[in-house]
Every structure is written in C-alpha cells, then in structure tokens.
Amino acid sequence: MGDEDDAKQVRSIFISDLHLGTRGAQADLVLAFLRAYDAPKIYLVGDIIDGWRLKSGWYFPQAHNDVVQKLLRKVRKGSTLIYVTGNHDDFLRDYTGLQFGGITLVDDIVHETADGKRMLVIHGDLFDLVVRNARWLALLGDWAYTAALVLNHGINRVRRVLRLPHWSLSAWAKRKVKNAVNYIGEFEQCLADEARRHKADGVICGHIHHAARREIDGLTYINTGDWVESCTAVVEHHDGRFEIIHWPQHRLEDRLPPLPVPLPARRPAAAVPVGEAA
C-alpha cells in the first residue's frame, strides 16, 4: 500500500517557501508532511525552488529531489498541482499560463472553497517594496537571513539534546522588533486589499515566512508560513474550514516519549501524573 493510501485526505493543500536548493531547506520534513496529507488539489504558493541560491552554486541533494518526485507522484495519482510563482523562483514567470500533465503555472489564481468562498492565492512578493524596488537590498537580506539560519541551527541542536521543541530565531525577532512587526502588518493589509480588488473573500499567500490566519476588514488573510524554520502548511478540509499545520511540533510529539514530571518537595507520598515533554 502506497503512502497516499495511508495519508489523511483533505480537500486542498497550500504549501510555500520550501526553498529547495538551499542548505536551510527542511526537505525531510516536507517529505514527511506530503506522506501524511493528500488532496485532489495542491497549491505550491511560491519559492519552492530557490533559483537565487542555485545561480551562485548548485546544491540539490537527494532529499530535495525526493520532494520533487513525491509531488510528481501525487500528480500521477490524480492530484492537480498548481504552481504559483514567487520571487525566488521568478525564472518560471516566463512560462506562466502553461499547463503540462496535471501541473499549471500561474502568477496568481482564485480558489473556490467547499463552502463557496473565493480565495486569492498569490505568493505576495509583488507587494514587498524591498523586492520590487531594491533587489540588491533583498539579496543582502537573503544573505543575512542565511547567516541567521546557521546560528539558529546550532541553537536547535542544543535544544534537541535538552528535549525542547524547535525554536525560530527569525520568528522571535519578527515578534520583538517593532519595524518587523509593522512590516508584517503592512504586508497583510496590502494582500487583503489585493483580495478585495479581485472581488475575493480572502487571500492565501506566503513570502514572509510567518504563518498566520486573521480577519482584516472583513476579509480572511492566511499565510502558509515556510519550510526553512517554522515548517507550516495550510489545508482546507472538506467542509471548507482552513487549518494551519505546524509540522515540527507534530513530529516532535510523535518521536519523543513523555518525560516524568519531578515530584514536588515535601510531598513524597503524593501521586504525580506523567506529563509531556516541554
């Protein structure tokens, strides 16, 4: 029996920012997620293959190729794959509108949910003023982000030894730094406005590596997050309900057995239940 036969069936899957071709890509986690979930329609919401990094040096190990092959296998099994182009895979924008097999390349598309809502699906980089107007600054930011990932990798190796869950340095910085918080808020507002221009009920996007779902001026804003640090995706259930899947937490819970909670002082006779690891 194949992986798809054992996978949880949902109506649609939305996944973005895999950044295959970079050393920070969590390809093994992407593959585990794709084995665990299946849907008749799969949206790749941009930055799936990192053309920026591949231009400076080829890096595409077997694990990254396995992700590509897994997606193609889902197409052969009957899934429709919609590839929404992003800024890191903007080399594909010369081919948008093309269809081959069960794969369609688009810059944006409107998805209709099971309960009749219209959701604009777009990567979101066109609403990032740094990417649009100062590409050199975006490339510099990409270099700094890569350096932060190296540091974050070391931190999380220690956390795994201590049986602590994954922690994201950049996500922490986004929450703490005022300019980053303001940038995220402005990005979300711009995407909500774009959904309104498309006469849609909401938007599903990626780009800023910050998974979220909220209501903005009567529109639903959903960001799929990324698979470099947070490892999140969005699924639509058969009733039209959306859910953000935080895959590392699921994986950690499946892999680690529960740890006993220490007995409180001065109560040696008390029965203390076994708790979960932090």
The full set of domains in the chain, from first to last, is 9-251 (3.60.21.10)
Closest CA to 127 of 103, 111, 108: 108
Torsion of CA 149, 152, 154, 156, to 10 degrees: -130
Per-residue pLDDT of the chain (278 residues; tens, 9 = 90+): 556 668 999 999 999 999 999 988 999 999 999 999 999 999 999 999 999 888 888 999 999 999 999 999 999 999 999 999 999 999 999 999 999 888 999 999 999 999 999 999 999 988 865 434 444 334 444 545 555 555 566 656 676 677 766 656 555 555 544 444 457 788 899 999 999 999 999 999 999 888 999 999 999 999 999 999 889 999 999 999 999 999 965 544 443 333 333 333 444 334 333 344 33
Q: Dump the DSSP string for 228-261.
A: TTT-EEEEE-TTS-EEEEEHHHHHHHHHSPPPPP
**Which residues 6+ apart lie within 8 Å of 236 measured at CB?**
10, 11, 12, 13, 14, 39, 113, 114, 242
Closest CA to 27 of 54, 60, 51, 53: 60
Question: Which token pair is 44?
Answer: 């790749």
Residue 166 confidence (pLDDT): 61
**Which residues 6+ apart lie within 8 Å of 121 measured at CB?**
14, 43, 45, 82, 84, 108, 109, 110, 111, 203, 204, 205
Residue 185 confidence (pLDDT): 80
Closest CA to 222 of 239, 210, 237: 210
Query: d(Cα 144, Cα 93) in Å, to the nearest integer?
Result: 26
Residue 271 confidence (pLDDT): 39
Residue 151 confidence (pLDDT): 57
